[in-house]
């Protein structure tokens, strides 16, 4: 999420709430098959830089700042970038691969979410999670585990569009959407955003 230091992000909560996704780690072959065209190749989860770069298109990941959450919740910069994007590697505390890349506007939105503050209006941001994300509640921005009422959903590789109310119009906003098509996560909250699944592209 951004071009600004991510010390304000919770190492555990960020991947959990920002993605919905594969319930378990994928095999290297499955990850390769599901990597969208133009994305950095699936990476070893033990290599934080490679893992982070796998979250977004190669053209973005190659110039992005790479940061990694530390045990105390702080963020360590593993590589300085030059294009205004920040990528984070997979979190070892979550069940599936969930690295992410985000632009500066998405960072502002994420900071507001983490601080339980209103996100800036009309500041549209983009978050890539091309290896998928960790399962999340589709209705509660702060849920930490599934319950009978919080509509836990699974989503594979996807892009998140945050900070725009207009873009949500016309997309399903119910508690249990079809996650194979674009849908609204956290509808009726200040953090409503569009989840756009990214299908694997067949070899040419």
Output the tens digit of pLDDT for each of the chain's 204 residues.
332 223 334 444 454 444 433 333 333 333 334 445 555 555 555 799 999 999 999 999 999 999 998 888 788 999 999 999 999 998 877 767 889 999 999 989 988 998 899 999 989 999 999 998 767 889 999 887 888 888 888 778 999 999 999 999 999 998 889 989 999 999 999 999 999 999 754 443
Residue ranges making up the domain that contains 77: 13-197
Q: Is residue 8 part of a domain?
A: no
Q: Is residue 140 part of a domain?
A: yes
CA 196 to chain centre: 11
How far is residue 190's CA from residue 182's CA, in Å, rounded to a whole number?
19
> Domain tally for the chain?
1
What pLDDT is stored for residue 9 in this prediction?
A: 47
Alpha-carbon distances of 85 from 5, 22, 30, 51, 57, rounded to whole Å: 11, 24, 27, 15, 11
What pLDDT is stored for residue 45 in this prediction?
A: 59
Q: Is residue 68 part of a domain?
A: yes
What pLDDT is stored for residue 7 in this prediction?
A: 33
| Enclosing H/E stretch for 104 | helix 104-114
Look up the pTM and report it.
Answer: 0.76
What pLDDT is stored for residue 39 in this prediction?
A: 52
Q: Is residue 7 part of a domain?
A: no
């Amino acid at each position: 999420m951004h071009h600004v230091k991510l010390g304000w992000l919770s190492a555990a909560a960020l991947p959990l709430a920002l993605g919905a996704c594969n319930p378990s780690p994928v095999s290297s072959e499955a990850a390769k098959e599901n990597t969208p065209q133009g994305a950095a190749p699936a990476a070893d989860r033990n290599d934080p830089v490679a893992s982070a770069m796998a979250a977004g298109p190669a053209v973005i990941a190659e110039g992005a700042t790479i940061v990694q959450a530390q045990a105390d919740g702080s963020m360590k910069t593993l590589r300085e970038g030059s294009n205004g994007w920040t990528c984070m590697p997979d979190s070892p505390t979550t069940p599936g691969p969930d690295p992410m890349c985000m632009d500066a506007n998405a960072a502002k939105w994420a900071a507001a979410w983490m601080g339980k503050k209103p996100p800036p209006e009309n500041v549209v941001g983009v978050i890539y999670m091309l290896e998928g994300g960790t399962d999340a509640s589709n209705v509660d921005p702060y849920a930490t585990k599934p319950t009978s009422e919080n509509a836990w959903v699974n989503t594979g590789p996807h892009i998140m569009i945050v900070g725009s109310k207009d873009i949500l119009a016309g997309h399903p906003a119910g508690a249990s959407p079809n996650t194979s098509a674009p849908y609204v996560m956290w509808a009726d909250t200040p953090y409503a955003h569009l989840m756009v699944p990214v299908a694997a592209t067949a070899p040419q």
